[in-house]
Chains A and B, each alone.
Chain A
Amino acid sequence: MSKELELLTDQVCAGYGYDPVNLLPILQEIQQRSEGNYISEEAARIIARKLNITESRVYDVVTYFSALSAVPRGDVIVQICNSTTCSICDNRELVTWFEDELGVKVGETTPDNKFTLIYTHCIGACDIAPAVRINHDVYGGLTREKVRELVASYRAKEAVK
Chain B
Amino acid sequence: MKQVHEVHFITELFGKYDGSSLQSYLEAGGFKPLQQLLAGGSEKILKEIDESGLQGRGGAAYPTGRKLRQFLSEKAPRKFVVCNADEGEPGTFKDRELLRRNIYQVIEGMIITAVCTQAGEGIIYVREEYTNIHDHIEQAIESCYQHNYLGKNILGSGFSFELRLFSGAGSYVCGEGFAMCESMEGKSGRPRTKPPYVKQAGFLNLPTLVINTETLSAIVSIIRHGAHEFRKYGTAESPGTKLISVSGKVERPGVYEIPFGLTINEIVNGLAGGMKNGKKGNFVQIGGASGGILPARLWDTKYTYEDFSRAGMSVGSGAIVVADTETKLLDYLKVVQDFFNHESCGKCTPCREGNRQLRIIFDKIAAGTATAEDFYRMEIVLDVMGSTSLCGSGKTEVVPFNTAIKYFPEEFAVFAEFEKRAVI
Contact = CB atoms under 8 A, between A and B. Distances in A.
Interface of A: 20-28, 57, 60-61, 64-68, 82-85, 87-89, 120-129, 133, 136-138
B343 interface: yes
Given A60-B188, A133-B129, A136-B131, A126 B253 contact: yes
Contact of A65 (B88, B171, B331): B171
Chain B binding site: helix, strand, loop or mixed by DSSP? mixed
A67 B188 CA distance: 12
Contact of A122 (B90, B131, B186): B90
Given A83-B90, A87-B331, A126-B319, 15 more contacts: A21-B184, A23-B186, A25-B167, A66-B169, A67-B169, A84-B91, A84-B335, A85-B90, A85-B321, A88-B322, A89-B248, A89-B249, A124-B87, A126-B93, A126-B247
A111 B248 CA distance: 35
B14 interface: no
Contact of A84 (B87, B90, B127): B90
Nearest to A68: B169
Contacts of B128: 28, 65, 67
A20 B186 CA distance: 6
Contacts of A126: 90-93, 245, 247-248, 253, 319, 321
B339 A88 contact: no
A65 B170 contact: yes
B172 interface: yes
Given A23-B187, A121-B90, A129-B248, A66 B132 contact: no
A148 B124 CA distance: 37
B305 to A, nearest CB: 22
A84 B188 contact: no
Contact of B132 (A25, A121, A136): A136
Given A67-B169, A127-B245, A129-B247, A84 B339 contact: yes
Contact of A88 (B189, B245, B327): B327
10 contacts: A23-B187, A27-B169, A65-B169, A65-B183, A68-B169, A83-B91, A124-B127, A133-B129, A136-B132, A137-B132
B321 A88 contact: yes
Interface in B90-146: 90-93, 96, 127-132
Contacts of A127: 93, 245, 247, 253-255
Nearest to B93: A124
Contacts of A25: 166-167
Contacts of B331: 87
Contact of A57 (B169, B187, B332, B335): B187
Interface string B2-36: 00000000000000000000000000000000000
Interface in B164-203: 166-172, 183-189
Nearest to A66: B170
A124 B92 contact: yes
A87 B335 contact: yes
B384 interface: no
A67 B172 CA distance: 12
B289 A21 contact: no
B78 to A, nearest CB: 13
B127 A88 contact: no
Contacts of A122: 88-92, 129, 289, 339
B253 A123 contact: no
B90 A64 contact: no
A123 B322 CA distance: 17
